[in-house]
């Protein structure tokens, strides 16, 4: 007679069920961790594959050399003596080749130092003051005021960003004189600090590149600097206009090319934007966004091609990659200066801006990737590309891990949406985009100079170590996506003129959604 097992209660059944399901969580976690370390191990293996392959060869040569006796060495000497002509010819070719390489190789471009302009506190425009002044101007209807309020709330800007003095007047006074005053205050403020911190004399500057997209007076901004600091008469000056927020990288690229031609000299790059005469006083929504995002700022950068400056410089320039999508009509007009129906001038931002920026970014990193990514990531990307072509076109494309190539990311603080999009597409962590978010919060969108405020943030936090690589990436009208890669030559600390000097301890701050 068989005995039936005692009936199990509902509680017991639930206990059995949970016993079957709970352990799955741990294996899933372990699988994720294992995959992470498998990929890390793969990366190190491929990166050091050449070294690992070369070690046995070196060991074999060393063993063979250690076993050579006197007769073997004497025979080798006789062999070289009998082939003296060949040895001399080989040595001559080697010396000639080394000489040509040294004379024609690209000169290293060093970033000696840079300074960012810190606007005075009386120019700050908190949300309430900004909205109150907008109402008092009488130029905006209720719909436009409400639109600006919503943009400000979602922008990621803090209460300490600054607008020029002319915009604090009621009514605003956007005159040519006020615009010149803004340009001089920002540029000369940054340059005074730069000359002071580097002890470089203005007469030593051989190249000057200035970029400002929307304000291009006559004489030019570069001429204003030459006149102020009495720079030498044979200085090579360039004034870039209308190139948008990515012009800072373009200026670096131009200065780099000039430093390849002119020996033993310094180049200064000044990146800024002028708001005074470019404030929009109409009611077209797409043209009101720049009012809410753009703020006062500028940066001055000292570059050198002198080998003697390698010890005191902060960084060396590794790569500059520029991508221009202007042949596409939609990309060309997505950031467009024009007049509205009432004849008021402003900069219009297209609703397709983020999609176009994504396409420009994709084209840019396609060129940049092979230059900076380790071979392990390049092989994975290539394998997935072949798989999509031959096996399954719907296969999810592989996004290279740029965190293996860079320790720090300076993403142009064009707006919260720009930073969010790059954080998602490049699979970055919150710490990687912290400098961009905090720069946007503290200083707003300072256009082409924002990437320097971000670099200053990383330095002020004490995170820049020797050998670290920095990726500066910026977007601009045209439409353009430009990248600059720098390598730290030492552990870099913030300079005494850092714009973060009095507030870095308060950051990072929590930005509400």
In the chain, how many domains are there?
2
Whether residue 502 sits in one domain with residue 396: yes
Among 211, 278, 408, 432, the one annotated catalytic: 408
Tell me: the pLDDT tens digits for 463-495?
Answer: 999 999 999 999 999 899 999 999 999 999 988
**Known catalytic membership, residue 392:** no
169 within some domain: yes
Among 445, 481, 482, 497, the one annotated catalytic: 445
Tell me: the pLDDT tens digits for 139-156?
Answer: 899 999 999 999 999 999
Whether residue 342 sits in one domain with residue 286: yes
Whether residue 115 sits in one domain with residue 92: no
Residue in this structure with the two tokens 């990437």, named with its chain if needed: 451
Quick one: pLDDT band at residue 101, thresholds 50, 70, 90? Answer: low
Whether residue 90 sits in one domain with residue 236: no
- Which of the listed residues 105, 125, 151 is the one where a domain comes to its end? 105
Backbone angles phi, psi at 174, to 5 degrees: -80, 70
User: Residue 353 pLDDT more than 50?
Assistant: yes
Whether residue 120 sits in one domain with residue 83: no
CATH number assigned to the domain comprising residue 229: 3.40.47.10
**Known catalytic membership, residue 227:** no
Q: What is the pLDDT of residue 19?
A: 41
Whether residue 118 sits in one domain with residue 99: no
Tell me: the pLDDT tens digits for 235-255?
Answer: 999 999 999 999 999 999 999
58 within some domain: no
User: Residue 7 pLDDT more than 50?
Assistant: no
99 within some domain: yes
Whether residue 192 sits in one domain with residue 87: no
Among 305, 432, 441, 481, the one annotated catalytic: 441
Whether residue 134 sits in one domain with residue 101: no
Whether residue 433 sits in one domain with residue 302: yes
- Which of the listed residues 58, 87, 105 is the one where a domain comes to its end? 105
**Neighbouring C-alpha atoms within 13 Å toward the C-beta of 28:** 5
Whether residue 259 sits in one domain with residue 176: yes
299 within some domain: yes
Using CB atoms within 10 Å of the CB of residue 241, give its burial: 0 to 12 exposed, 13 to 18 middle, 19+ buried: middle
Among 116, 324, 334, 497, the one annotated catalytic: 324
Whether residue 212 sits in one domain with residue 101: no
What is the enclosing helix (H) or strand (E) of 208?
Answer: strand 205-211
Whether residue 94 sits in one domain with residue 146: no
User: Residue 45 pLDDT more than 60?
Assistant: no
The residue-averaged pLDDT of 399-423 equals 92
498 within some domain: yes
Tell me 301's DSSP state: E
How far, in Å, CA of 456 to CA of 253, rounded?
Answer: 20
513 within some domain: no
442 within some domain: yes
Quick one: pLDDT band at residue 12, thresholds 50, 70, 90? Answer: very low
- Exposure string of 322-338, with b = 16+ CB inside 10 Å and e = fewer, is ebbbeeeeebbbbbeee
**Known catalytic membership, residue 408:** yes
3 within some domain: no
Among 245, 325, 334, 410, the one annotated catalytic: 245
Among 283, 291, 412, 482, the one annotated catalytic: 412
Residue 92 sits in which domain range?
75-105
**Known catalytic membership, residue 441:** yes
Tell me 294's DSSP state: B
Decide the pairing of beta strands 298-304 and 315-324: unpaired
């Amino acid at each position: 007679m068989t005995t039936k097992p005692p009936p199990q209660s509902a509680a017991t059944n639930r206990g059995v069920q949970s016993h079957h399901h709970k352990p799955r969580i741990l294996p899933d976690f372990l699988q994720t961790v294992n995959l992470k370390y498998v990929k890390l191990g793969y990366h190190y293996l491929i990166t050091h594959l050449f070294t690992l392959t070369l070690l046995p060869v070196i060991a074999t040569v060393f063993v063979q050399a250690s076993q050579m006796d006197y007769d073997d060495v004497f025979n080798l000497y006789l062999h070289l003596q009998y082939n003296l002509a060949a040895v001399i010819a080989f040595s001559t070719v080697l010396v000639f080749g080394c000489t040509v390489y040294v004379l024609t190789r690209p000169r290293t471009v060093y970033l000696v130092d840079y300074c960012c302009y810190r606007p005075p506190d009386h120019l700050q425009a908190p949300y309430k003051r900004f909205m109150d002044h907008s109402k008092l101007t009488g130029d905006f209807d209720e719909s436009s005021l409400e639109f600006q309020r919503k943009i400000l709330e979602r922008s990621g800007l803090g209460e300490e960003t600054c607008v020029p003095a002319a915009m604090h007047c009621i009514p605003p006074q956007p005159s040519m004189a006020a615009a010149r005053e803004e340009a001089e205050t920002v540029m000369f403020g940054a340059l005074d600090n730069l000359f002071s911190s580097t002890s470089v004399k203005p007469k030593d500057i051989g190249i000057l590149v200035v970029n400002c997209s929307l304000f291009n007076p006559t004489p030019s901004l570069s001429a204003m600097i030459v006149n102020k600091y009495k720079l030498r008469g044979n200085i090579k000056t360039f004034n870039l206009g209308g190139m948008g927020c990515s012009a800072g990288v373009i200026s670096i690229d131009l200065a780099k090319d000039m430093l390849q031609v002119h020996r033993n000299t310094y180049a200064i790059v000044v990146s800024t934007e002028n708001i005074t005469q470019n404030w929009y006083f109409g009611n077209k929504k797409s043209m009101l966004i720049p009012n809410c995002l753009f703020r006062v700022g500028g940066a001055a950068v000292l570059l050198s091609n002198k080998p003697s400056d390698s010890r005191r410089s902060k960084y060396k320039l590794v790569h500059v990659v520029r991508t221009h999508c202007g042949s596409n009509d939609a990309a060309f007009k997505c950031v467009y200066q024009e007049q509205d129906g009432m004849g008021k001038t402003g900069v219009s931002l297209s609703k397709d801006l983020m999609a176009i920026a994504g396409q420009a970014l994709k084209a840019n990193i396609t060129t940049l990737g092979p230059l900076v990514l380790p071979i392990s990531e390049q092989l994975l990307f290539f394998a997935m590309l072949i798989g999509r072509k031959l096996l399954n076109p719907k296969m999810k494309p592989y996004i290279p891990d740029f965190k293996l190539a860079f320790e720090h990311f300076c993403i142009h603080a064009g707006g919260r949406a720009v930073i969010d999009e790059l954080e998602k597409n490049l699979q970055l962590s919150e710490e990687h985009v912290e400098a961009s978010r905090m720069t946007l919060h503290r200083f707003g969108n300072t256009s082409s100079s924002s990437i320097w405020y971000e670099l200053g943030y990383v330095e002020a936090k004490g995170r820049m170590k020797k050998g670290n690589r920095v990726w500066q990436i910026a977007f601009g009208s045209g439409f353009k996506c430009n990248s600059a890669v720098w390598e730290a030559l030492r552990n870099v600390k913030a300079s005494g003129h850092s714009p973060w000097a009095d507030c870095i301890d308060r950051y990072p701050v929590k930005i509400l959604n």
